[in-house]
A and B are shown apart, each in its own frame.
Chain A
Amino acid sequence: MDIGFVLAQSITQALGVTAIIYCLAAIGLNIQFGYTGLLNFGQVAFVTVGAYSIGVVVVTMGLSLWLAIPVALLASVVLALILGIPTLRLRADYLAIVTIAASELLRLVVRSIALRDIFGGVNGINGKIGAQFHALNPLPEDFVTPYLTFSRQDAWVVFVGWVLIAIVSFGVWLLVRSPWGRVVRGIREDEYAVVSLGKNVFVYKMQALILGGMVGALGGIIWAIAKQSVQPDTFVPDVTFFTYTILLLGGAARIFGPIVGAILFWFLLAGVGEFLSQAIQAGWIDFLKPTDVGPIRFILVGMGLMSLMIFRPQGIFGDKRELALDGR
């Protein structure tokens, strides 16, 4: 058993590309769900739109990545409008139903045989999707330290990714402490009260949905660039649920909630998985096979999260006082 290796693997995962993608998805969800109270159960759809827009523009159409990024953001705005216009005037649960359905619909459309020429069917889009980005990589070689190891390419993505997260978080911080933020937090509590004070609640909810969707799409953009491949069946509803888990773990309606949540979630998931693998190899655990590790780590992490919800329901950063007021 090499505890140092387990730790190194976990830290690398916690700060790696996947954590960054989920962190961005969770920041977006925090705007929508955490601050505004919108039950978006299809955050993966925005990630999908971000990733596929990059893939289609760069590989299918053969155009520049720098054109693809604004196209991806624009596409996420369009998706938000399509989801929001029919549902945001209705009760909160309609948005939940429509978003989860739309996210699956989107996955089925991009993997369909009929549209294979555009989206690549079940194989998705592969190729030098992020070449223009990686060409700018200033790093001379792979990033290797005892506890943190990235390939040269990943290190560049990770660096840009965390800078991006810092910028986006700063923007969200500015927003939520402004009068705009006050209105959306009011909507989260009781939209009729906010209406009675002369605010156009529909517009605010739409703005929050669009903004959160665009941040989610940033996650998809990084996904496409970092992995140089966009596969339809990775964009399953699980992505949305992990995103919710991350947000609740870190604390909803907190600027650092999604960041801490993403880091911790991937640290735990990787750590538990690696630990189990090593323990099986070392013969400490004989009732499990190496192939069981994948599902078992989710069970263990899930149980950990359940106890978190029981003992610290507001998440790591949340304010207990805010939660205590709920039922009144």
Chain B
Amino acid sequence: MAVDTHSTLGPRGQASQAALSNVPNVPGSAKPDPILDVHSVKRSFGGLTAVDVEQVQVQRGAITALIGPNGAGKTTFFNLLTGFDAPDTGEWTFNGQQVAGTAPYKLARRGMVRTFQLTKALSRLTVMDNMLLGAKGQTGEHIYAAFFPFLWSKQERANRERAMELLSRFNLAEKSVDFAGSLSGGQRKLLEMARALMSDPELIMLDEPMAGVNPALTQSLLHHIKDIREEGTTVLFVEHDMDMVHDIGDWVIVMAMGQIIAEGPPGAVMKDQNVIDAYLGTHHDKELTDSGKSLTVDSDPEGTHS
């Protein structure tokens, strides 16, 4: 499980990789300190079962990648966990508390903040206003306090400062007074991530944060994500770029056809035959159905890992 980024790992990164080193590489394996613990979550759309996860845990303080071919159910799984969609069955805990059925805004307040695959930049708000919306516990957001600026102007200034710091980290500082709608697609991704960070989340869930971001910036973003982790935030992200997954992921969870088919450190997972099948299946059109079929059969963890 040698990961070539060890040299750049901070103390927390090393700690979380050490903690995960004894975890068996099987789907649903128990983690030493799970921030998220999911049981039997199922969601179907008509006849299609989009998500059917028996068991999965996410280690606190780690960077976990959720990968899988298109349509595997990753976004749906995110929607379920964050309360934006309701599962047919299943329960999960966040920080040890049952949170199934909790309203999404409450989950966000508790520290579980997500971004969207299709960015939701608030177009007719400035970049700065987008950022400020992310800040938690604002007095001025109460309707009565809103009429009295002296009650919240100090807090607002502090939030602005913090927002500017984050914006410069994400190369958006010069854009702060522009409307978010004038940003490019990649810049919107960055804004959304920066906005989510405004609330100091415990767990940040990023749905394809790098899609559409130029390669030069990707490198610095990878550093930011590692920094976020060093500041104590747990990161769970969906990504198709295997280099990135390899580069910053401490742990990888692989989904295919709604199920978790493999788990482990990046190096091990990329060699896993199930994973190769699942991905090749989507890359070679003519084999799609065949490998799809074998995938469900093979997905029995006992068959490949015992």
Contact = CB atoms under 8 A, between A and B. Distances in A.
Question: Is chain B a partner of chain A in the same complex?
Answer: yes
Interface of A: 171, 174-175, 178-183, 185-186, 188-190, 192-201, 207, 211, 321-322, 325-326, 328
B49 interface: no
B279 interface: no
B123 A328 contact: yes
Nearest to A171: B147
A189 B126 CA distance: 12
B146 A195 contact: no
Contacts of B82: 196
B195 interface: yes
B146 A193 contact: no
Interface stretch (B10-18, B89-97, B108-116): B108-116
Contacts of A325: 123-124, 179, 181-182
Interface centre among A174, A179, A200, A207, by most chain B C-beta atoms within 10 angstroms, is: A179
B199 A197 contact: yes
Contacts of A178: 140, 145-147, 149, 152
Given A193-B122, A196-B104, A179 B152 contact: yes
Name, among B84, B114, B123, B149, the residue most crowded by chain A CB atoms within 10 Å (CB to CB): B123
Contact of B146 (A181, A190, A328): A181
Given A179-B140, A195-B84, 10 more contacts: A174-B146, A174-B149, A179-B132, A179-B138, A195-B105, A196-B82, A196-B84, A198-B113, A321-B182, A326-B124
Given A175-B146, A175-B147, A181-B146, A195 B108 contact: yes
B143 A180 contact: yes
B130 to A, nearest CB: 8
B154 interface: no
B39 to A, nearest CB: 24
Interface in B112-136: 113-116, 120-125, 129-130, 132-134, 136
B156 interface: yes
26 contacts: A174-B146, A178-B145, A179-B140, A182-B129, A182-B132, A182-B133, A185-B122, A185-B125, A193-B122, A195-B104, A196-B84, A196-B108, A196-B113, A196-B114, A196-B120, A196-B196, A197-B108, A197-B195, A197-B199, A198-B108, A198-B136, A198-B199, A201-B105, A325-B182, A326-B123, A326-B124
Interface of B: 82, 84, 103-106, 108-109, 113-116, 120-125, 129-130, 132-134, 136, 138-143, 145-147, 149, 152, 156, 179, 181-182, 195-196, 198-199
A182 B125 contact: yes
Given A189-B124, A193-B120, A196-B120, A180 B108 contact: no
B120 to A, nearest CB: 4
Contacts of B125: 182, 185-186, 189
Q: Which of B104, B123, B140, B146 has the most CB of A within 10 A?
A: B146
By DSSP majority rule, is chain A's interface helix, strand, loop, or mixed? helix
Given A178-B152, A179-B152, A181-B146, A189 B122 contact: yes
A95 B204 CA distance: 33
Contacts of A189: 122-125
Given A181-B146, A199-B105, A186 B140 contact: no
Contacts of A322: 124, 179
A179 B134 contact: no
A193 B199 contact: no
A109 B282 CA distance: 62
A175 B121 CA distance: 23
A179 B156 contact: yes
B153 to A, nearest CB: 10
Nearest to B82: A196
A40 B13 CA distance: 52
A188 B124 CA distance: 9
A197 B113 contact: yes
Contact of B133 (A183, A188, A211): A183
A111 B84 CA distance: 44
A192 B122 CA distance: 10
B179 A190 contact: no
Interface centre among B115, B122, B130, B198 (most CB of A within 10 A): B122
Contact of A180 (B122, B129, B141, B179): B141
A77 B235 CA distance: 44
A273 to B, nearest CB: 37
A282 to B, nearest CB: 49
B114 to A, nearest CB: 6
Nearest to A193: B120
A208 to B, nearest CB: 9
A326 B84 CA distance: 25
A236 B258 CA distance: 53
